[in-house]
Structure 1
Amino acid sequence: MLQETTQTELFHIYYKRWISVYKEGAIRNVTMSKYFMTHQWLVRLAPTLKINDLTRIHYQELLNHYAKEHERQTTMDFHHQLKGAILDAVDEGLIPRDPTRKAIIKGKQPRDKKTKFLNQFELHTLLTTLTLPPEINWDWFILLIAKTGMRFSEALALTPKDFDFSHQILTVDKTWDYKSNSGFAPTKNQSSTRKIQLDWQTVIKFSELVKDLPEDDPIFIKCNQKVYNSTINEFLTRRCKQADIPIISIHGLRHTHASLLLFAGVSIASVARRLGHASMTTTQKTYLHIIQELENKDVDIIMRSLSNLT
């Protein structure tokens, strides 16, 4: 039986129960961990805050304290994760009015970001420095992500069974839960389940690499092996330094893949499907700067075409 909530209950206790009731089993583990992290910060910043004391000024003070140690976007995420529970508390009559209304989101200045993507020459230079032996290693992992634009967790989950070499197709229908090391997990969303066309060079190389491997086991890691995103990013950093190119992350290879396709004239719709985006809007927002640059080129083409009309 659920515990009855009162207006004098500590807010962080209500919030933890709200996560359990509304979020547990309904969202992915990686998202769930973000809610738990928000709860930990709530305990740290407002351990004695009661539900009936949650006014606009108290809520703004809570956000301000959080913003002192976080960037604005992270503070925005913190705000949205709290807001869901607070609005439910308003609906239940525990809080008379919405204290999140007109909240001001602050935050520290963003840190210098790594280069988001490489140009074609830089990517080519990187790939030529990779050590690609007859056995699977992390260099092959880097090559495959550069060629497909897969997410880190998607590439970790690949098995020999996912390759259809005769049709040059790679099926992405699962991820590897590397954070909790619990094995295979669902894809990020329904659109993330997809088939990616492979070039013939990649088909030839990987058909040899995986031919003697168990068809249902991951090809890049052992089932009981713990792997960290940071470890592979450090490996890629060393390769970038060897190639004397800008340092990017594994996720940056995904951005590189999409960017090169867009510059090559591939439609936004096709890029969105290949990346497994939920909608073209996601692709447009992520690669807005590239799309705007391509639109500027289109204007030049349009003007030249029109000037030739007599």
Structure 2
Amino acid sequence: MLNEFTPQDLFVSYYEQWIRVYKEGAIREVTLAKYYVTLAWTKKLAPDMTLGGVTRISYQQLINDYAKEHERQTVMDFHHQLKGAILDAVDEGLITRDPTRKVIIKGKSPADKKIKYLNQFELHTLLKNLHLDKVVNWDWFILLVAKTGMRFSEALALTPKDFDFAHQMLSINKTWNYKGDGGFMPTKNKSSVRKIQIDWQMVMQFSALTKDLPADEPIFVQKGERYAAVYNSTVNGLLERYCKKLELPVISVHGLRHTHASLLLFAGVSIASVARRLGHASMTTTQKTYLHIIQELESSDVDLIMRSMANLT
């Protein structure tokens, strides 16, 4: 049953109902969880703030308090997740004027986050030591992500019919809801729906591995009465054990995706092609993620340019 609110009621109560009415069932579970985290922080920082008490100065103070413990981009997300509910409250006359207007977004300086990946020799060492049995196991999953750069949820959702062995193509058009109750879900964005080329070795390996499997069922998720739960930590743990045993830098499954992209960039593949293969919404995402690699390549390009110019006599 829905509550009728007045300006004297608590903002957090209104916001909680607003999330249930407008967001539940309309957005991905992962995104919905972020709204509930925002709700929890609002309850912590402004538990007694009424709807009528949401003014420009009280809202700015809420943002400032949140910014003390979070980076600027996280504060921006916090602001946007609150703003929709606040503007609806303004439309309903529960808040007199838009308190989010001209808000100043603060936040801690972002930590220096350098992505973790393996170089070509290290990746070769890892793949050479995988136990690739005649039946599906997580070692096959590691090989697949390393050679395609797929996201964890995309690789889990793969079915035998997604492989076009005749044309050496792999269709990525869905994800697996491993954080929930299982089942297929849409991809992260429209750009994530893509077809990528696979090498002939993968064609031979996966055609043999999947030939007796149900065409429409996920390859890496076991099905009994219901689908078995799958955890990211399971594969990360296996990968960590391999890395330690082989004396390699410890990376995660997502680090395999970074490894794939990094090797392509170092091999001279264009940023546009890497972005399409990874399913990034734009090249900007690729450039930001792999900035340090691109800068390293640009330094090599300067030497190449200078040598080329010196030969022009």
Give the structure-2-normalised TM-score.
0.89
Match of 1:215 in 2: 215
Preserved CA contact (<8 Å) 1:72 1:108: yes
Match of 2:239 in 1: 236
Match of 1:48 in 2: 48
Match of 2:33 in 1: 33
Match of 1:291 in 2: 294
Cα–Cα, structure 1 residues 274 and 258, in superposed 2: closer, same or farther, change >3 Å?
Answer: same
Moved more, 220-229 or 136-145: 220-229
- Percent identical pairs in the alignment equals 68
Give the structure-1-normalised TM-score.
0.90
Aligned residue-pair number? 309
Preserved CA contact (<8 Å) 1:67 1:75: yes
Q: CA deviation at 1:2?
A: 6.8
Please provide the CA RMSD for this pair: 2.4
Q: CA deviation at 1:105?
A: 2.6
Match of 2:151 in 1: 151
CA distance in 1 between counterparts of 2:101 and 2:79 reads 8
2:4 matched to 1:8?
no
Match of 2:308 in 1: 305
For 1:20-99, list aligned pairs within 5 A: 20-67=20-67, 70=70, 73-90=73-90, 92-93=92-93, 94-99=95-100
- The amino acid across from 1:98 in the alignment is P
Match of 2:169 in 1: 169
**SS of the counterpart of 2:36?**
helix
Q: CA deviation at 1:109?
A: 7.5
Deviations 1:98-144 (A, max 9, x none): 2463434334985x868521111111122122111111111110110
CA distance in 2 between counterparts of 1:173 and 1:99 reads 38
- The amino acid across from 1:170 in the alignment is L
Preserved CA contact (<8 Å) 2:182 2:229: no
Q: CA deviation at 1:195?
A: 0.8
Q: Could you list the runs of 5+ residues in structure 1 that have no partner in the other structure?
A: none
Cα–Cα, structure 1 residues 302 and 91, in superposed 2: closer, same or farther, change >3 Å?
Answer: farther
Cα–Cα, structure 1 residues 91 and 151, in superposed 2: closer, same or farther, change >3 Å?
Answer: same
Preserved CA contact (<8 Å) 2:60 2:103: no
Deviations 1:55-85 (A, max 9, x none): 3443344345445555554444323322333
Q: Could you list the runs of 5+ residues in structure 2 that have no partner in the other structure?
A: none
Match of 1:253 in 2: 256
**SS of the counterpart of 1:146?**
helix
Preserved CA contact (<8 Å) 2:67 2:108: yes
Q: CA deviation at 1:9?
A: 2.5
Moved more, 85-94 or 48-57: 85-94
